[in-house]
Amino acid sequence: MLQTGSCVTPLALNVNGATRTIEGATPDTPLLYILRNDCELNGPKYGCGLGQCGACTVLVDGQPARSCVVPVAVACSREVTTLEGLGTLEAPHPVQQAFIDEQAAQCGYCLNGMIMSAVALLARNPSPDEDAIRDALRFNLCRCGTHLEIVRAVKRAARSLQQDQAN
């Protein structure tokens, strides 16, 4: 469970390794609104607004968090990582590359949450079996039915990360 960080106005957030100063926001403003509107980051999506679909997932100190229901005050004094903070177009994160290689997207709306949850899973369990992958992603909804490709992508990313560590 995430605890409220230390927040003062204006808010100072560490997002994707850079400090961002946010004016005019209250500590109870959903983190998603700050990320999308003030930081102009489009990775986290507004899905359900209730923390149930996973489209808005970001990492807060490495832990997946539903930014639509997390007050920005929770993120103060913590590291927030969005999809944009993982890799670049030229050098995608291994999980992003695996999702591309496995064609694990149809509409793509769930991908932010799936990728961010997969990154958190692989950070704590570098060799997950299929049950562990399904368990870690169980709260991320995909209406298009690309679950098989998503599971394959996480397996591929795990292998890729293991090979990177071996080299």
pLDDT tens-digit map of 124-141: 999 999 999 999 999 999
pLDDT at 5: 52
Task: Kindly state whether residues 36 and 62 are assigned to the same domain.
Answer: yes
Q: Which positions of the chain have pLDDT values less than 50?
A: 1-4
Task: Kindly state whether residues 79 and 113 are assigned to the same domain.
Answer: no
* CATH at 15: 3.10.20.30
Kindly report the pTM of this predicted structure. Answer: 0.91
Examine residue 5 and state whether it is found in any structural domain, yes or no: no
Task: Kindly state whether residues 73 and 119 are assigned to the same domain.
Answer: no
Helix, strand, or coil here: 131? helix
Examine residue 49 and state whether it is found in any structural domain, yes or no: yes
pLDDT at 1: 43
Query: What is the number of domains present in the chain?
Result: 2
What is the residue range of 132's domain?
A: 94-166
pLDDT at 166: 83
Where b means 16+ CB within 10 Å and e means fewer, 124-161 reads: eeeebeeeebeebbeebbbeeebeebbbbbbbbbbebb
∠ CA 94-123-131, rounded to 5°: 90
* CATH at 145: 1.10.150.120
pLDDT at 24: 84
CA 104 from chain centre, in angstroms, equals: 16
Asked if the peptide bond before residue 10 counts as cis, ω within 30 degrees of 0, the response is yes
Query: In whole angstroms, what is the distance from residue 82 CA to residue 86 CA?
Result: 7
